[in-house]
Amino acid sequence: MKPKILISGANGVIMKSLISELRKNFYIIGIDMHSDGDARKYCDEFYSSPLGNSEKFISFIVKLSTKVKFIFLFVDEEILNLNSNRKKIKNIEDKLILSESKTLNICLNKKKFSNFFKSKKVNVPSSKFSNSMVAKPIYGRGGAGIIKIKNKKDFHFFQKKKNYIVQKLINGKEYTIDCLFDSKGKLIFDLPRERIQTKGVSIVGKIVRDKAISNFLRNKIAKYLNFYGPINVQIIRDTRNKIWLIEINPRLSGSIEFSIKAGFNPLLYFKSKKTKFKIKYGMVLRRSFKISSE
The Cα–Cα gap between 229 and 185 comes to 9
How far is the C-alpha of 253 from the C-alpha of 191, rounded, in Å? 12
* Mean predicted lDDT score pLDDT of the chain: 92
Using a pLDDT cut of 90, give the percent of the chain over it. Answer: 86
pLDDT in tens, 75-133: 999 999 999 999 999 999 999 999 999 999 999 999 999 999 999 999 999 999 998 99
**Top-tier CATH class for 4-97:** alpha beta
List helix spans (H) across the chain. Answer: 15-22, 39-42, 55-64, 76-83, 101-107, 110-119, 152-159, 211-216, 256-262, 268-272
What pLDDT, in 10s, does the model give residues 11-68?
Answer: 998 899 899 999 999 999 999 999 889 999 999 999 999 999 999 999 999 999 999 9
Residues in a beta bridge with 235:
175, 245
The CATH class, in words, for 171-286 is: alpha beta
Residue 176 pLDDT: 95
| pLDDT of 270 above 70 | yes
190-199, 219-228, 262-271, range with the lowest pLDDT: 190-199
Mean pLDDT of 205-217: 94
Residue 198: its pLDDT value, please?
A: 72
For residue 234, what are the β-bridge partners?
Answer: 176, 247
- In this predicted structure, the answer to whether residue 291 has a pLDDT above a threshold of 80 is no
Q: Do domains 4-97 and 171-286 have the same CATH topology?
A: no
Distance CA 110, CA 277 (A): 32
pLDDT given at position 72: 97
Confidence (pLDDT) at 202? 74
Distance separating alpha carbons of residues 200 and 142, to the nearest angstrom: 5
> Worst-scoring range by mean pLDDT, 133-142, 167-176, 253-262, 282-291?
282-291
Is the model's pLDDT at 199 over the cut of 70?
Answer: no
Q: Where are the domains of the chain?
A: 4-97, 126-168, 171-286
CA–CA separation, 129 vs 89, rounded Å? Answer: 43
* 3 state DSSP class of 150: coil
Q: What is the pLDDT of residue 293?
A: 30
